[in-house]
């Protein structure tokens, strides 16, 4: 099951660098596709939390 609706994912972008996001269903996050940014944003109760302060940098 997707974390967010596919139509919503198409229009969402990373707030830090404006690159597209992809789902990481195992971690329950939306991850920036930019090679230089790569921030991961949590999805809580089916709502993406697209705040840079809430994001984590994956290892």
The 10s digit of each residue's pLDDT in 22-42 is 999 999 999 999 999 999 999
Count of CA atoms in the C-beta half-sphere (13 A) of 7: 0
CB 43 within 8 A of CB 4: yes
Q: Which of residues 2 and 54 earns the better pLDDT score?
A: 54
- Average pLDDT, stretch 37-57? 95
Residue 14, pLDDT > 90, answer yes
Domain positions in the chain are 6-54
Does residue 1 register a pLDDT over 90? Answer: no
Summarize the confidence of residues 41-58 as an average pLDDT.
94
- The answer to whether 57 touches 40, Cβ cutoff 8 Å, is yes
The class that CATH gives domain 6-54 is mainly beta
């Amino acid at each position: 099951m997707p974390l967010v609706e596919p139509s919503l994912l198409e229009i969402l972008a990373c707030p830090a660098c404006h690159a597209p996001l992809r789902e990481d269903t195992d971690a329950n996050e939306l991850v920036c596709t930019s090679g230089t940014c790569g921030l991961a944003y949590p999805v809580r109760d089916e709502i993406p939390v697209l705040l840079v302060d809430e994001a984590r940098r994956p290892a």
